[in-house]
Amino acid sequence: MVELLAAVVIIGIVTSMAAPELERSIQRIKFRSETKNLLSTLRTARSHAIADKNPYGVYFDANALTIILFKDITNPSNFTYDAGSDSVLRADTLPSEFVYLNATFPNSAVIYGANGTAQATGDVYMMSTPSATINLTQLNVLASTGRSKIQYIHNY
């Protein structure tokens, strides 16, 4: 009976030590998922632009931590997102643990033309700080091809 009690105590100690690491792993998985969702949104905008032969774009609202996929129907030559005028296909708000969203594109939007190219080369940066972990990511869009990729995902 003493051996059984000792085994239960040891299992309890090991479990309590593993719980914080499990929480950090879950947060890393959630962050990677949001990064891949953003990459998917960029690629979706490019695909719509090619298929529909109209400009589509992604707007990054740093204050509201919102990412908007839209069809650029108002002044497509300006390469801007016109709230209320352009057709919004989807608006995603980042989870509450995200504290930073920044895009280096002009007017905080990347617009894809009918041939799939982007109006400018740029990067998107995101950061989240759940509990004691800091997660950083950078995505890149190349103007000449419109292709987007994840540059890095770091977890500290």
pLDDT, tens digit, 9 for 90 and up, residues 33-81: 999 999 999 999 999 999 999 999 999 999 999 999 999 998 888 889 9
pLDDT of residue 42: 98
pLDDT average, residue stretch 107-122: 96
Average pLDDT taken over every residue of the chain: 91
What is the pTM (predicted TM-score) of this model?
A: 0.87
Q: Note the pLDDT of residue 126.
A: 97
Q: How confident is the model at residue 112 (pLDDT cuts 50, 70, 90)?
A: very high
pLDDT at 146 over 90: yes
**Nearest in space to 43 (alpha carbons), one of 98, 124, 97, 134:** 124
User: Cα 7 to chain center, whole Å?
Assistant: 44
Buried b (16+ CB within 10 A) or exposed e, 30-60: ebeebbeebbebbbbbbebbbeeebbbbbbb
- Which pLDDT belongs to residue 19? 63
CA 122 – CA 126 distance, rounded (Å): 14
Write out the two tokens for 74: 């108002």
Name which of 24-28, 109-113, 142-146 the model is least confident about. 24-28
Structural domains in the chain, CATH included, are 25-155 (3.55.40.10)
